Amino acid sequence: MSGARDSGDPHDVLAMVFARPKEALRAAKAILAGGRGPYDSSIARQAIGILHREFGDVEAAIGELRQAVRLARRSGSPDREADVLATLGIALVHRGRTRSGLSALDSAAVRATGTTRARVLFRRAGARWILGRHREALDDLRIAAPALRRAGDTVWAARALSLRGHVQLALGSVRAADADFRTAQRMFATTRQEHDSVVAVQNRGVAAFVAGDLPLALARLDEADQGFQRLGTPMPDLVADRCAVLLAAGLAREALEQADAGLRLIARLRGQATRRAELLLLAARAALLAADPATARERAAEARALFAGQRRAWWAEHARLILVQAGLSGGVTPRLLGDARRLADRLRELGSPDAWQAHLLAGRAALELGRGEEADRHLAAAAAARHVGTATARAGGWLAEALRAEAAGQPRRLLRACRAGLALIEEHRLTFGSSELRALVTAQGAELADLALRHLRRAGRGRELLGWTERWRATALDVPPTPPADDPELLGRLAALRRVDQLLAGARSGGAASAARLERERAALEARIRAETLSLRGPGGREEHGFDCGRMLRALGPGGRLAELVIIDGVLHVLLCADGRVRTYAVGPAGQAVAETEYARSRLRRLAYERRPDPAELAALGRHLEEALLGPVAARLGDDGPCVVVPPAVLHAAPWGLLPSLRRTAFSVAPSAAAWLRARASAPPPDGGVVLVGGPDVPNAEAEVRAIEKLYGDRSRTVLTGEAATAQAVLEAMDGCRLAHLAAHGTFRADSPMFSSLHLGDGPLTGYDLERLRRAPYRLVLSSCDSAQMAPVGADEVLGLATALLHLGTAGIVASVVPVNDEQAVPIMAGLHEGLSAGLGLAEALRRARGDDVSFIAIGA
């Protein structure tokens, strides 16, 4: 049959597939319904096949494309047949039928001529990229890309550049990749290819991620997600890209949840087996970083089996990397060392930029097995990564160098490597405007900090040990806060969250069927708010990090003490700073301290609802907790001067007021010694007033506020209670005030600490709301339950309502670490404000007012 076609150009349908997929599907079905000839019908079947392949059922795609091949063959056009064969080849590769797919692509390349051949070579390059055959993919693209540009085929030339960018990324050439993606984006902008234009945004997000710019990566991927939603085209590979960025940001559990959601989507759509395998690999990596080696092994094993069946050696070896890394949880064996050694060699042969991870793994295993020479050889290979690649890879290289130095007994070299690695992560951290990301990313430097701490403890160098402890503790508070932008969309979502929360509370109390729908609506709002804040950009640059121990000791003054608790190799130590010296004391197992803290908190939660708690039980609880937390240091704290306690993140929620040695002194708790110094240096605003807030449904809030109001007489003050105490009114009143007191119910969210909240007249006031203050209140009193709770995240960071305000510059906070007896809180709060109005500091005023209470602590200075 001749190559002649019916009137009209059916090729427009193929052009519409990615530009306007729904319109393309209607047009293709219309061609088939119209009984057009085999040439046109083959195009229609091809278009439907592509739509199934990209956005739905791959098996259905293969069925449509096989019909398209038969129709093209009947049309007598070799180029038509070659074009459809190439599309079928890609679908077969995605389904995991690698040999058949490559055979179809090779046949298409032989049949095609001119521009069609260039398009076929582009597709074969795509298949080779999927299979990890990156050099072969570049060979095809070297022919295809120039030929398509010479032919003026803008859309396909831009696609070829996009693909070349992905191949460059796989080979570690980030700048070349981003240049290709930028050019492709400009080219797509001159066409009507809406889908391809959104993919270009996604690709640039991937390039930003590989370059280490996570805020920009998140922003671009969010933009792409909105574009795909607008077009109605689900994209599982966007899920994979977002998972990779979340992993790099330290959000491993969230990345695992998203990867699993993407796997469910692919299963529902009967989607591409290649994408399923890639998502399984990401899920395995996420599970490993979330300290879930069993899930990591399960996902990685399934991914490796799929990759092997798809003949994707490059990918299969990366799945094996996860399997070997997860195997470490069961202990090091000679077999594991052999696996790591062979894996390192294989990844190097494949040109993988992750080969350093296998060398690091092999080096660790060899060290544990006492094979020093082999360990040094592998660690040296891993250490080479410290000069090239992403920030994560370079930090990993410095970790390998630090391990080499430790094994060689070279302390100066060890500390130099730890310092260099942490500096890289600090520089990376400063790109984030989100306080959550700044805290989470510190986990990447935890082992470097631990190596330095271990050496300094053994060397008995107290001051240096304190300096290194401070270097990697509560570092998110060190970064200047990102000024809040006047973002009407974010403000609107925060307001909508308050409305939904109020409706949800009413629906729950009334047993309304709408509660489930409102739960979903609240979760969606929280996800959007969090996504917007995660993509905020930080100040950038490099931070000059150095803790001035001498300044801290001078600030303590005569009789002052600062006890900084630090965990080293599972043992809790206290660095006691007093009288111009830093002394180190071993306390005991850190696990026991955590267990005693949790037990004490659980007992206090019950006792909070008893009118008269048993003093003997409280005393016994306090003694046991003090022994676990302070050990020999408790007897050295004395009672002749102020005391500052600086706990590690996992012990921040301890009820410090329960400890006998602290009950008799004015003490405060700080996230770090540096944070205490900054808070101490803060000056009260000359024009700030007093703000008193009583939230809804708090039995004694009105009485509490009125009792405190009387103490301040004619001083400038603002009183907001009931429905008048809205989030906006409270924020406006608190901005730059001298003292704010909020008597409102609180909720601590361990799953998402920045959504911890205080319940006001129009709904919850969250940590995200507080971060929008331009000037923090100088002092703040929160009389609600658990208002001092902070979640431990990252290496040694804390997140919660209190940290949001300390970061903005609040000097001191009084809040509770356990539930509060509402009735007993009123006289305590009145006594506290009586002391403050008389000129006492927060810690001293609280000491005089608390009586038998152990709920409240002073935070900061």
3-state secondary structure 372-422: HHHHHHHHHHHHHHHHCCCHHHHHHHHHHHHHHHHHHCCHHHHHHHHHHHH
Span 592-613, mean pLDDT?
85
Model pLDDT, residue 456: 95
Q: Which residue has the higher pLDDT, 659 or 486?
A: 659
Span 28-35, mean pLDDT?
88
In angstroms, rounded to a whole number, what is the distance separating the alpha carbons of residues 819 and 408?
51
Model pLDDT, residue 2: 34
DSSP helix/strand/coil, 760: strand
- Work out the angle at residue 624's Cα, subtended by the Cα atoms of residues 619 and 628, and round it to the nearest 5 degrees: 145
Describe the crossing of helices 154-170 and 134-150 by its angle, rounded to 10 degrees: 160
Q: Which residue has the higher pLDDT, 48 or 538?
A: 48
**What's the 3-state SS for 91-124?**
HHHHCCCHHHHHHHHHHHHHHCCHHHHHHHHHHH
Question: Rounded to whole angstroms, what are the CA distances from 250 to 215, 378, 392?
Answer: 13, 26, 11
Split at pLDDT 50, 70, 90, the class of 24 is confident
Among residues 231, 224, 302, 236, the alpha carbon closest in space to that of 265 is found at 236
Q: What is the residue type of 343?
A: L
Q: What is the residue type of 644?
A: V
Model pLDDT, residue 733: 92
Q: What is the DSSP letter of 443?
A: G
Q: Is the pLDDT of residue 773 over 90?
A: no
369 class by beta-carbon count within 10 Å (0-12 exposed, 13-18 middle, 19+ buried): middle
In percent, the amount of the chain with pLDDT more than 90 equals: 49
264: Cβ contacts below 8 Å, ≥ 6 apart: none
Question: Rounded to whole angstroms, what are the CA distances from 31 to 132, 343, 393?
Answer: 38, 53, 53
Span 445-472, mean pLDDT?
93
Split at pLDDT 50, 70, 90, the class of 540 is low
Report how far Cα 26 is from the mean position of its chain's Cα atoms: 42
Question: Are 621 and 603 within 8 A, CB to CB?
Answer: yes
- Which of 422-431, 484-493, 621-630 tops mean pLDDT? 621-630
Give the least confident one: 290-299, 559-568, 756-765: 756-765
576 class by beta-carbon count within 10 Å (0-12 exposed, 13-18 middle, 19+ buried): buried
Span 432-443, mean pLDDT?
79
DSSP H or E run through 510 = helix 488-510
Residues 120-170 have pLDDT tens digits of: 999 999 999 988 899 999 999 999 999 999 999 999 999 999 999 999 988
Question: Are 582 and 575 within 8 A, CB to CB?
Answer: yes
In angstroms, rounded to a whole number, what is the distance separating the alpha carbons of residues 756 and 766?
6
In angstroms, rounded to a whole number, what is the distance separating the alpha carbons of residues 110 and 121?
10
Model pLDDT, residue 325: 93
Question: Are 270 and 59 within 8 A, CB to CB?
Answer: yes
Span 730-753, mean pLDDT?
89
b/e code 301-319 from CB counts within 10 Å (16+ = b)? bbbbebbeebbbbbbbbbb
Model pLDDT, residue 545: 58
Q: Which residue has the higher pLDDT, 542 or 343?
A: 343
Residue for token pair 């001498």: 550
Model pLDDT, residue 7: 40
In angstroms, rounded to a whole number, what is the distance separating the alpha carbons of residues 230 and 21?
12
Instruction: Give the up-direction half-sphere exposure of residue 631: CA atoms within 13 A in the CB hemisphere.
Output: 16
Check the CA dihedral 583-586-592-596 and report its sign: negative
Q: Is the pLDDT of residue 298 over 90?
A: yes
Question: Which residue spans within 657-706 are E strands per DSSP?
Answer: 667-669, 690-694
Please state, rounded to an integer, the average pLDDT across all residues of the chain: 88
Start-to-end CA distance of the chain, whole Å, equals 89
Instruction: Give the up-direction half-sphere exposure of residue 344: CA atoms within 13 A in the CB hemisphere.
Output: 24
Residues 675-696 have pLDDT tens digits of: 999 998 888 888 888 999 998 8
Check the CA dihedral 750-751-755-758 and report its sign: negative
Q: Which long-range contacts (CB under 8 A, 24 or more apart) does 23-31 make?
A: 24/51, 25/51
Split at pLDDT 50, 70, 90, the class of 492 is confident
In angstroms, rounded to a whole number, what is the distance separating the alpha carbons of residues 269 and 483?
43
Model pLDDT, residue 5: 38
In percent, the amount of the chain with pLDDT more than 70 equals: 95
Model pLDDT, residue 637: 86
Q: Is the pLDDT of residue 714 over 70?
A: no
Other beta carbons less than 10 A from residue 33's beta carbon: 9
Question: Are 402 and 421 within 8 A, CB to CB?
Answer: yes
Split at pLDDT 50, 70, 90, the class of 215 is confident
β partners of residue 668: 644
Model pLDDT, residue 6: 41
Residues 176-195 have pLDDT tens digits of: 999 999 999 999 999 888 88
Question: Are 648 and 567 within 8 A, CB to CB?
Answer: yes
Residues 775-827 have pLDDT tens digits of: 889 999 998 777 778 888 888 888 888 888 888 889 999 998 888 777 778 88
Rg (CA), the chain: 31
Q: What is the residue type of 24?
A: A
Question: Which residue spans within 783-855 are E strands per DSSP?
Answer: 791-793, 797-799, 812-816
Model pLDDT, residue 562: 95
Phi first, then psi, for residue 563 (nearest 5°) are -110, 110
Phi first, then psi, for residue 170 (nearest 5°) are -60, -30
